[in-house]
Amino acid sequence: MSQSLLMPKATAVWLVDNTALSFEQIAAFCTLHPLEVQGIADGDVASGIMGVNPIQNGQLTREEIEKAEADPSYRLKVSEPKVRVAAVKRKGPRYTPISRRNERPNAIKWLVRNHPELKDAQIMRLVGTTKSTIDSVRENSHWNAANLAAMDPVTLGLCSQIDLDLEVKRASKDAPTQTEMHEGTTLLTAEEALARAAARLAPQSEGEYGEDGMGRGASSSDEQLDADSVFAKLKSIKTDTDE
């Protein structure tokens, strides 16, 4: 079925009273057991429930019912809604069922350990917790810290994988890049240091005179320094300095 059926038992009551569909067809459409549908027909089940017309609420068409009545092996299909209702955007912390609220510290521990880039506000949105609880778990001062185990909030049912990926993506955009974090602290190798020194010396040695003693009018091929000769000059300069 393309969408869930509204009030399946009440719909089954209407279909039993107003159509010639088989119990199996009604049971398959309303996600009920055939014996339960038979109990509705006998008056033993859902005796106090008023039937709901699925044609009026747009979940079935008269043509679909007639097609199923003509072919007992045919299974009814829920009609596509004519109007798409936009999902309501959630505001504030996520509501967590009472049965799973005890799992929130475990989820917080998992998020803090595996996604340190997440901000407290993001963790609060994901698992519906408070900042004080996050701080206590992070600082290992939670009253039940000894028994906490890092557990994926998606596995616990506290949030969806889509929500988690979205928050991680947002946090990654705000986090400094690896290059920015280590800029200015990386040591250069000997080859890189020599290459940089050669680049600084090249304008002085080539700008006025080339290797063959010619001036600025020399060809570009003559002006290019050979790497081995540059390193040899640098080594000689270093030796003269040491002496």
For 70-95, the pLDDT digits (tens) are 999 999 988 876 656 555 555 555 55
Residue 15 pLDDT greater than 90, yes or no: yes
Confidence of residue 179 (pLDDT cuts 50, 70, 90): very low
How far is it, in rounded angstroms, from Cα 126 to Cα 161? 10
Average pLDDT over residues 233-240: 62
Confidence of residue 162 (pLDDT cuts 50, 70, 90): confident
Poorest-confidence range of 22-26, 87-91, 210-214?
210-214
Query: At CA 164, angle to CA 162 and CA 169, rounded to 5?
Result: 95
- DSSP secondary structure code for residue 2 in this structure: -
Task: Give the list of residues 6+ apart from residue 135 with CB closer than 8 angstroms, or none.
Answer: 120, 141
Model pTM above 0.85: no
For 214-232, the pLDDT digits (tens) are 444 444 444 455 556 666 6
> What pLDDT does 44 receive?
84
How far is it, in rounded angstroms, from Cα 80 to Cα 77? 9
Poorest-confidence range of 47-51, 188-192, 198-202?
188-192
Task: Count CB-CB contacts under 10 A for residue 35.
Answer: 11
